[in-house]
Amino acid sequence: MAQEAPIPDPEEIRAYTPAVPRKLSKPRPPQGQRLVSLRQAAGLSQAELARIVGEPQANIAFWERCEKPPRSDALPKLAEALGVRIDDLIEGVKPTAQRAPAGKVQHLFEEVRKLPRRKQDRVVEVLSALLKEYKLKAS
């Protein structure tokens, strides 16, 4: 008669959930860390960057963990979305002060620019009021 395997204690079983952070088994390579830094400096999540460049989020995650640079067809889109040159993505040259990363606000304003003039004026009016309120609270 074959002996049955013991049933594990439920406390010992630990499935992955979003509440359980993943740890990388090895440190990020320089190429991946550079992409992470540029993405974070632009104020974008992996999902937001993926949407902007038209790639799956899994590709962004892979490129951030991998030593290889992103595919050649994705590099121009990534560089534009992050506000850097393609060379900066590959070689790690720090962007100059003149080329600030394109963040959420810039992408939002690019969408606002496509609206009719009256809608643009309304957006500016709302943002101006919010900024004025913020400045009053800050002082």
Residue 58 lies in a domain: yes
Query: Taking the complete model, does pTM exceed 0.75, yes or no?
Result: no
Q: CATH number, domain at 97?
A: 1.10.260.40
Q: Count how many domains the chain has.
A: 1
Q: What is the pLDDT of residues 70-105, one digit of tens each?
A: 888 999 999 888 888 888 888 765 544 444 455 777
Q: Going by C-beta distance under 8 Å and a sequence separation of 6 or more, which residues neighbour residue 81? A: 42, 44, 49, 52, 53, 102, 107
Residue with token string 């560089």: 79
**CA–CA distance, 139 with 133 (Å, rounded to integer):** 10
Q: What is the pLDDT of residues 19-76, one digit of tens each?
A: 555 555 677 788 888 898 888 888 888 999 999 999 999 999 999 988 888 888 999 9
Residue 88 lies in a domain: yes
Residue 4 lies in a domain: no
Residue 22 lies in a domain: no
DSSP states of the chain = -PPPPPPPPTTT-----TTS----SSPPPHHHHHHHHHHHHTT--HHHHHHHHT--HHHHHHHHH-SSPPPTTTHHHHHHHHTS-HHHHHH-PPPPTTS----HHHHHHHHHHTS-HHHHHHHHHHHHHHHHHHHHHH-
Residue 9 lies in a domain: no
Residue 13 lies in a domain: no
Residue 69 lies in a domain: yes
What average pLDDT does the segment 120-139 reach?
A: 87
**CA–CA distance, 44 with 39 (Å, rounded to integer):** 6
Residue 1 lies in a domain: no
For 85, the domain range is 30-138
